[in-house]
Amino acid sequence: MPSDTISFARGAPSLDIVDIDGLRDAATRAFTNDPGGATAYGTSIGYVPLRRWIAEQHDVDEQQVLVTNGSMQADAFLFATLVAAGDAVVVEQPTYDRTLLNLTSLGAAVRMVALQTDGIDTAALREQLAGGLAPALAHIIPNFQNPAGYTLSLAKREELLALAAEHGFTIFEDDPYRHIRFSGESLPTMLSMDESESVVYASSFSKTVCPGIRVGYLVGAPALIAKIQKVATNTYISPNMVAQSIVYEFCASGAIERSIATVKSALAERVAALTQALDDHLPEARYTPPQGGYFMWVQLPEGVSVAALFEAAKERGVAFVKGADFLLEGGDNALRLAYSGVTVDRIDEGIERLADAYRSLSGAAAAA
């Protein structure tokens, strides 16, 4: 791969939109304001002031919150607690590749339900449930879904909650992108709409503070959180108190609002540049511009091999993730473009390279 490769592969922010000064200041305050809390073991529920801050954000009781080492770790605890080998688990089609991998590793019977531009196909899910599907869990990424960038509509949020209550499954609302909406109106979380303890909610500070800080959290019914807390204690005694006290100071000082504003404005510019570049250089690409988050799903004409495109793109110095990685089967003509890590001045060049790779494919010529 050329050394100046432009990578649309990783869902991570470029360094220019991380508030390094704010983090440095927050660290200084953490060690000054609460040296004992930052440096001692603490307990597996997480750093108490941060737990309280999160509880206030979601208007829930503190006992409903467990702060973890990143939200992937929260997912792992939740899956270990709620999913046994053989259990049916509903996921979106396509969905986050690591979720797919971890559920498959646990021996779950993964049932993919089509994702539409307004979220999971609830009619199809309803039909499957009527046909006897009895999932332990439905994993839903409601806002700016990874990999598709689509957002679950309010009507579908309501419908999912009704289905969960009726059929007795848990909705795992996996929501790390919620705060980085740059257009359109925010929708309420299913957690906040839930009246039957159907929802377990996860989020993270990876997209609003930085990924290297590895702080995520779960919100759920107190009994479930207490159960997961025991798993957490036995796994690592306590999560990272230094990191969590830094996040707390970052949040309490208001730095997080400035950070979110920076991220949102950069992402909005990048989506605009990305869609413009696709329209200019690769008009065959079909997509729905996301209203927030890091990702855009791109479909190429039927018959185009994205696996071949991947190799041709690599040679030309541009990277992305193949759509097939987010599916159990199919997706051969789709790809995920992550625009979070590519600055505006590189986007057009990256898409030109991608278009050049596309033109080099014999299948593309045939499909065009």
What is the distance between the alpha carbons of residues 82 and 59, in angstroms, rounded to a whole number?
24
Candidates 59-67, 122-130, 148-156, 240-248; binding stretch for a second copy (CB under 8 A): 240-248
Among 51, 139, 156, 214, binds a second copy (CB under 8 A): 214
Task: Provide, rounded to whole angstroms, the least separation between the CB of residue 161 and a second copy.
Answer: 30
Give yes or no for residue 203 binding a second copy (CB under 8 A). no
Distances (CA, A) of 66 to 36, 63, 128, 219, 325: 20, 8, 33, 7, 30
Which of 83, 292, 55 is closest to 192 using CA atoms?
Answer: 55
Dihedrals φ, ψ of 213, to 5°? -75, -20
What is the distance between the alpha carbons of residues 7 and 320, in angstroms, rounded to a whole number?
6
Among 8, 9, 37, 136, binds a second copy (CB under 8 A): 37
What is the distance between the alpha carbons of residues 368 and 359, in angstroms, rounded to a whole number?
10
Amino acid at 217: Y
Give yes or no for residue 202 binding a second copy (CB under 8 A). no
Per-residue contact flags (x/-) with a second copy for residues 50 to 69, judged by CB under 8 A: -------------------x
Task: Provide, rounded to whole angstroms, the least separation between the CB of residue 366 and a second copy.
Answer: 38
Per-residue contact flags (x/-) with a second copy for residues 85 to 124, judged by CB under 8 A: -------------x--xx--x-------------------
The Cα angle at residue 150 between residues 121 and 323, in degrees rounded to 5: 90
CB 220 within 8 A of CB 200: yes
Among 6, 38, 163, 357, binds a second copy (CB under 8 A): 38
Among 235, 299, 343, 360, binds a second copy (CB under 8 A): 235
What is the distance between the alpha carbons of residues 88 and 92, in angstroms, rounded to a whole number?
13
Site size with a second copy, rule: CB under 8 A = 46
Contacts to a second copy by CB under 8 A: 10, 12, 15, 18, 20, 23-24, 27-28, 31-32, 35-42, 69-70, 72-73, 76, 98, 101-102, 105, 206, 210-214, 234-243, 245-246
